[in-house]
Structure 1
Amino acid sequence: MPQFGGKHAVVIGGSIAGLLAGRILAEHFDYVTILERDQLPDDGGARKGAPQGLHSHIMLKAGELVIAKWFPDFYEELNASGEVPVIDSADINWFHYGVWRLRVRTGMPKTLMTRPYFEWKIREKLVNQPNVTIRQQCEVAGLIVDESGNRVTGVKIGQKGKGKMTAAERHSSDVDPDAMEHLSADLVVDASGRGSQTPNWLEAIGFPKPEEAAVKIDIGYSTRLYEPPKHKTFDWQFLLVYPKAPYGSKIGFVQAIEHNRWIVTLAGCVGDYPPNDEDGFLEYAKQLDRPDVYEAIKDAKPLTPIKIHRFPASLRRRYEKLSRFPDGLLVVGDAVSSFNPVYGQGMSVTAMGVNALDECLQEQAMYNKGNLAGLHRRYFRKVAKIVDAAWLAAVTEDFRYPQAQGPKPFGTKLLNWYMGKLFELASVDQKIYFQVILVQNLVASPRTLFSPYIIRQVLKSNFTKTAEKENKSIAVEMNKQA
């Protein structure tokens, strides 16, 4: 039952953040309109506006739990179809920080698929929601505010095919009203992604832009789909080979996906971009810290051309720090924060952040009697807490590379040392392995990695290795003297 009766919510963007926001808002508003600038494919194809979707993605367990909450039969129906692989941690072969991690069943199944396929399946569910409409090929040009200038009351949009908007119109809120459609809304949610124009729109209506934090890491991706070799069998469904930073910068993934295919992504940090030609792609795979990716794909059949993507920097917009912000407007997903994608947190943090929207609307209905005033303060505070842990984990790892640039979190050097020891212990200690998996799936707090047991094991490991190193040095010196 909608809690803000008689009201309309508009979502800018039809990606994962926008689709999930639309589903949640449908519980609180009489009707919801999702505005998407692309023509959406009728199958699992990629969208022009999401070029990163062509590369390897995974929804971590915390994100899957959010999706299952709002689309209760989603994973059951998908898994029952046999179209997608369902894996446990034992099906993941992960080389990280110079060691292979343990492979132990955790009872946390995950479903693997490409991002375009995932979005398509979510859209199929959402179109059955009677009070949600998806309008395609819509460009949002700016915000509409009331006479006070303190409340957003809708958006200005242009429909593709009804007169092409200029670049100035797309990025301006001062548009000729005769050229734009004015769509009224009681709440506008910006889910337009990293390229969000909300900072510019805020400035145009007299509000400050949010403070931005960026950590430059210069990631490059090259990806193609393969048919697995028929004459070989593998004991994994997801293969990951990471370098031991800062000594290496090349990464490789081989991920089982829908329809018995592989998506193979090679990535390079700090400008070590993988190529997009046939020979160069295979040669780059050979240069990973382990040969397993190359051995897997050298006899596999390529199904697509090689696609490339660049990710210059992790970016965070600190909306929670703004002293002034208009009512009737929220920002979700990558429009708030986007992380180095090699850590696989993006979709899941987005899902968790959008889920916080439901909690905030429930609190607003309870304590503000359905009045939306001040909702942004409640929401941005919650989202900041969700983003904090993921941001810290991503950027501290990035700062293992001296080439990384940006605001360095306090204690980065110590945290990197500690996490490096944990990665090593995750190859031999099942208890630590399990806890690391829980934290990396965002279902346990990072604080749990600092339990007395884990701290003792880290210190013990460090003491043992230091003693071994000292004994080895003494033995070498004695041999020299002999």
Structure 2
Amino acid sequence: MNEDRLAHAVVIGGSMAGILTARVLSDRFDQVTVIERDRLPDGPDVRKGVPQARHVHSFWAGGMEVVERLLPGVESDLLTAGAVPMNLPTDIAWLTPANRWTQPLPATQRLVSATRALLEWTVRSHVEKVANISFRTEQEVTALRLGPTGDVSGLTLRGRHTGTTVDLSADLVVDASGRGSKLPEWLRALGFATPEESTVDSFLGYATRLFEIPAGFSARWKSVYIQNAPPTQPRGGIMFPIEGNRWVLTLIGGGGDYPPTDEQGFRDFAASLRSPLLADVLGVAQPVSPIWGYRRTANRWRHYEKLAMPGRLLVIGDSLCAFNPAYGQGMTVAAKEADVLAGILAGCRSQADLSRALRGAQRAIAARAKGPWMLATGSDLRYPTTVGASQTWMDRVVNKYLDRVLAAVSDDPIVSAAFLRVLNLIDEPQALFSPRLMPRVLRSRSRNRPAAVSNGFVVDKQLTTTMAE
């Protein structure tokens, strides 16, 4: 090994966190290898290693900004492939827990709506064009290897179909293998402690189906979100437009009130929501897929930032902190963590540079997950059946204030813009408590009036759905 240069980095996991991390590392290392246990599809297809891929996904503006900076042209390619641009809040009919529909205020954020499969495949297609990044697929990592200094020096791979094992040397190993990461086992085998874990589980589940958007369909909205309002209203649903002239409609139930995956149960659950809007859509749209369920939604943080780990090892994405997917934070947080890593490694040109840069790196990466963790677990703690933590008096105070925020976003453009910056992971949640915003939020109660519905559609003409004759 030439100690004066950064020769080889290995990323475990070829999902969004892994491929964005590989792109960041490619600026500093001669060679980057991505290890993936699955066979990666040749197109935008769902793969076994992403079991939640069929459900609604959001790549928020804060994440897309990072992706476009690392891989210019991704958004353009998504749109060319049929992804749907959406302006927020203008293009969404959102029934907040305050029982208020959001108004079509001037847009302050933009996102591109697509299936998880198309998002991941498009980003990976760009990463595969980077000359010094390679992929080794259908390979499992079975162990980490340590060098004479006690730092990680590589790992052992086993072919999933051949059973053949091989050692692979590395100057840096990054675990981005997701919720199913085996890193605690590998650390234990080396004589290291395993990380403490924080888990908050609201027993939330999904049921999702794809629908063809009917010819002649017209509405002021492109997407619909009937938000869960625990503890009294644990049910909700969300529908986004995606490529192929389709809607992806996901029904959501918290506190163990899981949406069914049979035809009648799915429709009955939709009809039980606080608004019949999604149920009425089901009445006019043709299903083009089975109904898929998913219930593995616990928030889980493995606190590697508190652990004495071997050097030259980092953890990122869901391997570190996995959020309840209902809040759509995972891919965007992974992009932001990769961006943190880019800043940490900026200027690294040698092994000595790398050793200095990695001091405190795991803490810096983990810090990026704190705000999203607070939002996700704070919402999940509203369900009385949630396990792993309970609401403190501070949680209750914060949630009462956030109730006011959600009451104000429907028609206050300033509060709406501030909230959307937090939702899109541009600003930290603390931005909602600024001296400029708090007085507007605290005056919001007088505007908290229920939205009327009639004949399955919202009376507000801006939300009325029509079908051409």
TM-score for both structures, normalised by structure 1: 0.88
Q: Which residue of 1 is the match for residue 183 of structure 2? A: 198
1:439 corresponds in structure 2 to: 422
Give the superposition deviation at 1:384: 2.4
- Post-superposition shift, 1:105? 2.8
> Match for residue 339 of structure 2?
355
Residue 146 of structure 2 is matched in structure 1 by 145
Mapped contact 1:327–1:375 kept (Cα < 8 A): no
Q: Tell me which residue corresponds to 2:315.
A: 331
Give the corresponding residue for 1:404.
Answer: 386
Structure 1 residue 317: deviation in Å? 1.2
Counterpart AA for 2:175: D
Contact 1:241 1:253 in 2 (8 A): yes
Give structure 1 stretches of 5+ with no counterpart. Answer: 164-178, 466-482
C-alpha displacement of 1:458: 3.4
Distance in 2, matches of 1:198 and 1:354, equals 19
Letter in 1 for 2:250: T
* Distance in structure 2 (CA, Å) of the matches to 1:32 and 1:268: 41
Equivalent pair of 1:12/1:192 in contact (CA under 8 Å): yes
Q: Tell me, in whole angstroms, the C-alpha distance in 1 between the residues paired with 2:302 and 2:390.
A: 16
Is 2:437 aligned against 1:454?
yes
Deviation at 1:460, TM superposition (A): 3.3
Q: What is the match of residue 233 of structure 1?
A: 218
1:215 aligns to what? 200
Worse-superposed segment, 255-264 or 449-458: 449-458
Which structure dedicates a bigger proportion of its chain to helix? 1
Q: Does 1:421 align with 2:420?
A: no
User: C-alpha displacement at 1:374, in angstroms?
Assistant: 5.5
Cα deviation, residue 409, structure 1 = 6.6
Structure 1 residue 204: Cα displacement: 1.3
Counterpart contact for 2:381–2:391, Cα < 8 Å: no
- Report 1:131-280 matches (<5 A): 131-148=132-149, 150-163=150-163, 179-280=164-265
SS in 1 for 2:204: strand
Match of 2:9 in 1: 9
- Cα 1:433–1:261 change in 2 (3 A) is same
| Distance (Å, rounded) in 2 between the aligned partners of 1:218 and 1:27 | 41
Maintained 8 Å contact 2:207/2:294: yes
Q: Give 1:289 deviation, angstroms.
A: 1.2
Q: What is the CA-CA distance between 1:296 and the residue it aligns to? A: 1.4
- Deviation digits for residues 247-279 of structure 1 (CA, Å, limit 9, x no counterpart): 011121111011211111111111111111111
Q: CA deviation at 1:448?
A: 2.0
| Distance in 1 of aligned mates of 2:257 and 2:206 | 10
Residue identity opposite 1:136 in structure 2 = T
Task: Determine helix, strand or coil for the equivalent of 1:43.
Answer: coil
**Deviations 1:45-86 (Å, cap 9, x if unpaired)?**
10101111111101011001111011111113333x261111
Matched, 1:71 2:55: no
Structure 2: which amino acid aligns with 1:138? Q
Q: Which of 267, 277, 296 is 1:311 aligned to?
A: 296
Kept after mapping to 2: 8 A contact 1:102/1:430: no
Change (3 A) 1:6 1:147: closer
**Aligned residue identity for 2:409:** A
- 348, 372, 382: which one aligns with 2:364: 382
The 1-side partners of 2:131 and 2:447 are apart by 63
Q: Distance in 2 between matches of 1:4 and 1:312?
A: 44
| CA deviation vs aligned residue, 1:181-223 (integer Å, no higher than 9, x gap) | 1111111111100111111211111211111100011111111
CA-to-partner distance for each residue in 1:106-127, whole Å, 9 max, x for gaps?
3432111011111111121112
Structure 1 residues 447, 156: closer, same or farther in 2, change over 3 A? same
**RCO (CA 8 Å, sep 6+): is it higher in 1 or 2?**
2
Question: Displacement of 1:463 after TM fit?
Answer: 8.4
Structure 2 spans left out of the alignment, 5+ residues: 449-469
Say yes or no: does 1:113 pair with 2:103.
no
- Match of 1:130, SS state, is coil
Tell me the CA shift for residue 285 of structure 1: 0.8
Determine the C-alpha separation between the residues in 1 that align with 2:197 and 2:235. Answer: 28
Root-mean-square deviation (CA, aligned residues, Å) is: 2.0
